[in-house]
Amino acid sequence: MSRVTRFAPLALLLLVIVALIWRLVTPSDNNVTSKLEGKPVPAFDLAAALPTKPTISSAELATGKPRLLNIFASWCVPCVSEVKVLQALRADGVAIDGIAIRDRSQDVADFLARNGDPYERIGSDPQSLVQISLGSSGVPESFVIDGKGIIRYQHIGPIKTSDMALILTKLEQAK
């Protein structure tokens, strides 16, 4: 066996390792960005989730000021911890609307009574139809919507305390 063949595997290994190190040092950007960002909220008109609270429609989202639209459900475990963060946002003056996904009125009422209620208006989406048209696949998810009813930011998963600054910045940018 010649010296070249004997050392070829070693050389190949080194080449591969160098490439892999490069990738480890400069990881590629795999963040999913929503295709709906920059587009108006798709048209919808929902029934109220609670008799005591007004509902929302897409037309009413363009109120001239940025708002947060939150998709939640009483059966969703991460939504429980998210409500606390939403209340803190509300205390900071953020207007928040909710869409309850595949939920019952009584369950929503119990959920809000137990965990707190940050919402101004709540619509009910019993078959996920609006959720799907919004390009959302799970609960919770949130959308920052500017004064003209255009989606500026989509947040997938619960908003954590550490995400508050980000959400406030996005709302500020949407003005």
Partner 1 sequence: MIAEAGLAALWLAAGLAALQFVLMVLALRSPIDVCRAMRGVAVVQGALTLISFAMLLIVFARSDMSVALVFENSHSAKPFIYKVAGTWGNHEGSMLLWVTVLSVAGAFFALLSKRAGERTAIAALGAQAALALGFYAFLLIASNPFARLFPAPPDGRGLNPLLQDPGLAFHPPTLYLGYVGLSVAFSLAVGALLTGEVDAKLARAMRPWVLGAWLLLTLGITAGSYWAYYELGWGGYWFWDPVENASLMPWLAATALLHSINVLAARGALKAWTMMLAVIAFSMSMVGTFLVRSGVLTSVHAFAIDPERGTFLLALLGIYVGAAFVLFAVRGATLREGASFELVSRETGLVINNLLLSVILGIVFLGTLYPLFVEAVSGEKLSVGAPYFNAVAGPLALILTVLVGVGPLLSWRRERRSRLKTLTIPALIGATALAITVILWPGMNILPRLGLMVAAYLLVAGTLPLVARNPLRAPLATWGMVVAHLGIAVALAGMAANAAFTSERLAVISPGESLTLGPWTVQLETVEPAAGPNYTAIEGKLRATRGSGLTMLRPQTRYFSDPPTETNEAAIETFWNGQLYTVIGKADTAGGWQVRLWWKPFVTLIWTGGALIAFGGALALVGRAWRSRRRTSGGWRKERYA
Window 44-63: residues binding partner 1 (CB under 8 A): 44
List % helix, strand, coil for the chain (3-state, nearest 5).
40, 20, 40
User: Judged by CB under 8 A, does residue 137 bind partner 1?
Assistant: yes
21-39 burial: b if 16+ Cβ within 10 Å, else e: eeeeeeeeeeeeebebeee
Of 90, 102, 104, 148, which lies in the binding site for partner 1, with binding defined by CB under 8 A? 102
Tokens coding 5:
């063949």
Stretch that binds partner 1, among 4-12, 86-94, 143-151, 159-167 (CB under 8 A): 4-12
User: Judged by CB under 8 A, does residue 28 bind partner 1?
Assistant: yes
- Which one, 19 or 47, has the nearer CB to partner 1? 19
3-state DSSP assignment of residue 118: coil
User: Judged by CB under 8 A, does residue 40 bind partner 1?
Assistant: no
Stretch that binds partner 1, among 24-32, 89-97, 112-120, 147-155 (CB under 8 A): 24-32
